[in-house]
């Protein structure tokens, strides 16, 4: 086991392995996302209350899920990098951050577009949208801190501490926001409260989430390879890798 | 199924298609930027290697 | 034996910082003045009507307290890192977390505590009833103390960074949102005559969580800044 970790942790090996792995993520991701899009837009029946607007769910919910999933991945990678001093883990955390920020942005914007026909305004201070907004701030802070160091090792370790502090805080932030919004709920009518979605509507959602996960895996492979190249620019193994 | 009816999305066309369009744009942009970043790094690594060889 | 040595070292750090601050009391007063000025902005920007102001008083006091205690945080560790004191601490073998906590405690006594003391007076100017004074003081005591530790983590992370103050706010403010939510809610509940026990207990829970884990994060961050 340890041997395997060390073998995988060595940059040349990881670089090659990631290159081989990437298509196994990429093509299934493309297939599943296309399938789920067709299923969600065409095959799934319209919601009796929200009509066809509920189809936004199939892009909003997976994005929101991925935004949180990516943060956890980033924090776990950062923790591994900090504790065992594995550079590859730091590189993975660095690669995950912009992807997570993109998903968070997507969840926010699609949530807002969904809110317009449902609530009548583009923005409602509801618990889920507000937590997504705060999550976006956390991502931006993380990336800003990483960018402000010249020394990559210091950037790695300092941003790792921040990611861990952040991931402990995420549940606290989330529940405080939920608590806050339930207190003020009387002001807004929540049509969006999910009245237990029927199974035929759920299947495309799960396919889409699986597709997004694989897509994330592909992106990580590519970005991690770039990170390895950037960090190992003077290493001799690069000659054979080309 | 009628295509016009499908495109109309029960009157929510603007919202549904904007959401899906935006999602597509973000996913494709991420895809392209990941590829571009990797290609750039690969190119700069190759350039450094050939520089080194020329010098020695 | 060792524990006694640690507490003695922490006390030394605390008194040293207090003495240093006493010599430059004008800098200590700045966050307090900022607090008064910012809270003055709100009636000018909205309305002088006390019944209207009362609705936002809790929020205004809390936002202003949050911003002004962030103001002085940036320089918390800077001078000690620049003149090499921090390096000595890291090498001294004393538990770094305790020493940093002593520094943060001193910072809180100098910036957080004055805010808490003056806030009932400012609150009264915003229409805060006398009944809510207790809740305001307790919530701000817990909140500013938690924020000092959180800000200490942020300050330790940004200590070697150019233009660290904006970055520090960007890092710390999202983490401080729960404090703002619970704190201002407690004040509003007390003003409405409800029992603010719930949010106050949550604030206390966050305070103890941050107090127990904060020194770990701070010392890890300082080590990163000093060692490399």
Closest CB from A56, A102, A242 relative to B16? A56
Between positions 56 and 95 of A, the ones with CB within 8 A of C are 82
Residue A97 or residue C13, greater confidence: A97
Q: Which secondary structure element, helix H or strand E, spans residue C222, and what is its range?
A: helix C197-227
Tell me: pLDDT of B38 over 70: yes
Name the neighbours of A, counting chains with at least 3 Cβ pairs within 8 A: B, C
Q: Which residues of A touch C153 (CB under 8 A)?
A: 161, 165
CA distance C58 to C123: 8
For residue A47, the cross-strand partners are A51
Q: How many CB atoms lie within 10 A of CB A54?
A: 26
pLDDT of chain C, 228 residues: tens digit per residue: 455 577 888 888 888 888 888 777 777 788 889 999 999 898 888 888 888 888 888 889 999 998 888 887 887 888 888 888 888 888 887 788 888 999 999 989 988 899 999 999 998 888 888 888 889 999 999 999 999 999 999 999 988 787 777 889 889 999 998 999 899 889 888 888 888 888 899 999 999 999 999 999 999 999 888 876
Q: What pLDDT is stored for residue A70 in this prediction?
A: 94
Neighbours of C147 (CB within 10 A): 29
CA-closest candidate to residue A86, choices A96, A77, A98: A77
Q: Kindly state whether B38 is in contact with chain A, defined as any CB-CB distance less than 8 angstroms.
A: yes
Number of domains in chain A: 1
Of A179-193, A223-237, C13-27, C109-123, the range with the lowest mean pLDDT is A179-193
- Tell me how far apart the alpha carbons of residues C164 and C167 are, in angstroms, rounded to a whole number: 5
| Eight-class DSSP state of A50 | T
Residue A1: HSE in the Cβ half-sphere, 13 Å Cα cutoff:
0
pLDDT band at A239, cuts 50/70/90?
low
pTM: 0.88
Give pLDDT, residue C194: 82
Total domains, chain C: 1
Q: Which of A11, A213, A230, A232 is the mutation pick for testing B, counting most B CBs within 10 A?
A: A230
Cβ–Cβ gap A53/B10 under 8 Å: yes
Residues of A in contact with C221 (CB under 8 A): 158, 161
Residue A192 has pLDDT above 50, yes or no: no
Whether chain A has a CB inside 8 Å of the CB on B3: the answer is no
Sequence-ordered list of residues with C-beta below 8 angstroms from that of A184, at least 6 positions apart, any chain: A125
Q: Of C152, C173, C168, C134, give the one whose Cα is nearest residue C217.
A: C152
Stretch among A198-202, A220-224, C181-185 having the lowest mean pLDDT: A198-202
Judged by a CB distance cut-off of 8 A, whether residue A164 touches chain C is yes
Subunit contact B10:A46, Cβ cutoff 8 A: yes
pLDDT surpassing 60 at residue A187: no
* Average pLDDT over chain A, rounded to an integer: 84
Report the alpha-carbon distance of residue C34 to residue C64 in Å, rounded.
8
Q: Which domain holds residue A151?
A: 23-45+54-185+200-233
Q: Per the domain annotation, does A239 fall within a domain? A: no
Domain interval for residue C31: 2-227
The residue-averaged pLDDT of A70-92 equals 91
Q: Which of A205-214, B7-16, C144-153 has the lowest mean pLDDT?
A: B7-16
Which site among C146, C161, C214 would you substitute to test the A interface, given the most A Cβ atoms closer than 10 Å to its Cβ? C161
Q: Is the pLDDT of residue A175 over 70?
A: yes
Of residues C25 and A7, which shows the higher confidence score? C25
Higher pLDDT, A44 or A84: A84
Is A105 close to B23, i.e. CB distance below 8 A? no
Which single residue is written with the structure tokens 């396919």?
A207
């Amino acid at each position: 086991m340890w041997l395997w970790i060390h073998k995988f942790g060595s940059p040349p090996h990881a670089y090659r392995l990631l290159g081989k792995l990437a298509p196994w993520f990429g093509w299934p991701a493309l297939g599943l996302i296309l399938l789920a899009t067709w299923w969600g837009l065409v095959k799934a029946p319209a919601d009796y209350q929200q009509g066809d607007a509920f189809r936004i769910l199939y892009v909003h919910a997976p994005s929101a899920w991925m935004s949180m999933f990516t943060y956890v991945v980033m924090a776990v990678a950062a923790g591994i990098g900090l504790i065992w001093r594995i550079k590859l883990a730091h590189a993975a955390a660095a690669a995950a951050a912009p992807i997570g920020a993109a998903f968070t942005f997507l969840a926010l914007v699609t949530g807002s577009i969904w809110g317009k026909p449902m609530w009548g305004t583009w923005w409602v201070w509801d618990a889920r949208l507000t937590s997504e907004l705060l999550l976006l701030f956390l991502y931006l802070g993380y990336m800003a801190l990483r960018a402000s160091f010249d020394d990559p090792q210091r950037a790695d370790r300092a941003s790792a501490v921040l990611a861990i502090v952040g991931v402990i805080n995420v549940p606290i932030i989330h529940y405080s926001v939920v608590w806050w919004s339930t207190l003020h709920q009387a002001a807004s009518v929540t049509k969006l409260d999910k009245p237990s979605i029927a199974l035929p509507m759920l299947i495309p959602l799960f396919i889409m989430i699986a597709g997004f996960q694989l897509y994330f895996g592909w992106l990580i492979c590519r970005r991690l390879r770039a990170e390895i190249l950037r960090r190992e620019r003077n290493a001799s193994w690069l000659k054979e890798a080309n | 199924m009628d295509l016009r009816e499908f495109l109309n999305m029960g009157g929510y066309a603007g919202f549904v298609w904007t959401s899906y369009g935006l999602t597509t744009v973000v996913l494709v942009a991420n895809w392209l930027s990941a590829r571009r970043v990797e290609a750039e790094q690969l190119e700069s690594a190759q350039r450094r290697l050939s520089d080194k060889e020329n010098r020695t | 034996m060792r524990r006694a040595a640690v507490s003695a070292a922490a006390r030394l750090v605390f008194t040293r910082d207090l003495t240093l601050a006493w010599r430059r009391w004008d800098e200590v007063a700045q966050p307090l003045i900022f607090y008064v000025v910012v809270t003055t902005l709100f009636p000018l920007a909205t309305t002088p009507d006390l019944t209207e102001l009362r609705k936002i008083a809790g929020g205004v006091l809390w936002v202003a307290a949050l911003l002004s205690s962030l103001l002085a945080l940036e320089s918390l560790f800077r001078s000690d890192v620049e003149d090499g004191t921090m390096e000595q601490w890291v090498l001294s073998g004393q538990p770094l977390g305790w020493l940093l906590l002593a520094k943060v405690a001193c910072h809180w006594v100098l910036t957080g505590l004055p805010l808490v003391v003056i806030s009932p007076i400012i609150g009264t100017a915003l229409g805060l009833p006398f009944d809510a004074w207790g809740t305001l003081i307790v919530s701000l005591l817990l909140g500013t103390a938690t924020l000092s530790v959180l800000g200490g983590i942020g300050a330790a992370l940004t200590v070697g960074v150019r233009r660290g103050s904006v970055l520090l706010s960007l890092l710390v403010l999202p983490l401080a949102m729960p404090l703002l939510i619970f704190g201002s809610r407690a004040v509003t509940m007390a003003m409405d005559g409800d029992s603010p026990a719930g949010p106050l207990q949550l604030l206390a829970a966050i305070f103890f969580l941050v107090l127990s884990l904060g020194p770990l994060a701070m010392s890890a961050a300082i080590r990163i800044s000093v060692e490399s």
